[in-house]
Amino acid sequence: MIPRINLLPHRERERKAQQVRFIIMLVMVGLVAAGISFVIDGYLHEMQLVAQSRITFLEQEVQKINKEITHIEQVKVEINDMLSREKVVESLQLNRAQVVHLFDQLGRHVPENLVLKSVKQTGTKLVIVGSTNSQSKVSVFMRNLETSQHLKNATLIEIQSSGSGDNDFTINVDFVRTDDTPSKV
């Protein structure tokens, strides 16, 4: 006869030990997974902080550059204002000399017994109004204007006899600017 061995309690203990090992392994795997997750989370958080600090730095630099750009734009506006003022001053300087030339030329070319009543300048056009006792003096005056260095294209607009025996006339003349004016300094 074979002896009967009851293995049931041994199997029961073995099953409980296996369940305990399984639970311990499960807990260990969970702890390792939690540790890895914690490390990855810390790493990602650190990367996020680094990225945020870079973004903040870049935003500050962009603000500095924007301030410099606005300053440069203001300087450009000031430069353009100063250049326009300089052009106005230069044109005034040129016109000052041109007015002297104009009156010099008119004084040289007015014949005797011819009186200028008004000289009106609009741009480069001159309207000369005067009177004389002879129409031939008007012709001489127009020929003299044509020989002038600064006055060209003399055109007689009208000539009328007034009651006192004088002839009133109107002449249009082009005023030519020459390069004998002072240059830029």
Q: Count up the domains in the chain and report the number.
A: 1
At 67, is the pLDDT very low, low, confident or very high (cuts 50, 70, 90)?
very high
**Is 20 a domain residue?**
yes
Structure confidence at residue 82 (pLDDT): 96
* Residue 19 pLDDT: 95
- Does residue 50 lie within any of the structural domains? yes
What's the confidence (pLDDT) of residue 142? 86
Please report whether residue 163 resides in a domain: yes
Q: Would you say residue 140 lies in a domain? A: yes
pLDDT score at 178: 65
Greater confidence, 166 or 26?
Answer: 26
In a domain, 2, yes or no: no
Is residue 1 in a domain?
no
| 134 in Cβ contact with 181 (< 8 Å) | no
Lowest-confidence pick of 31-45, 65-79, 150-164: 150-164
pLDDT value at position 161? 82
Residue 14 predicted with pLDDT over 80: yes
Has residue 110 been placed in a domain?
yes
Q: Do 146 and 106 meet the contact criterion of CB atoms below 8 Å apart?
A: no
pLDDT of residue 8: 76
Give 179's pLDDT tier (boundaries 50, 70, 90).
Answer: low
Residue 90 is part of a domain; what is its CATH number?
3.30.1360.100
Whole-prediction pTM: 0.49
- Full residue range of the structural domain in which residue 61 is found: 9-185
Of the candidates 168, 177, 178, 176, the residue with the CA atom closest to the CA atom of residue 128: 168
Q: Which residue type does 32 have?
A: V
In a domain, 4, yes or no: no
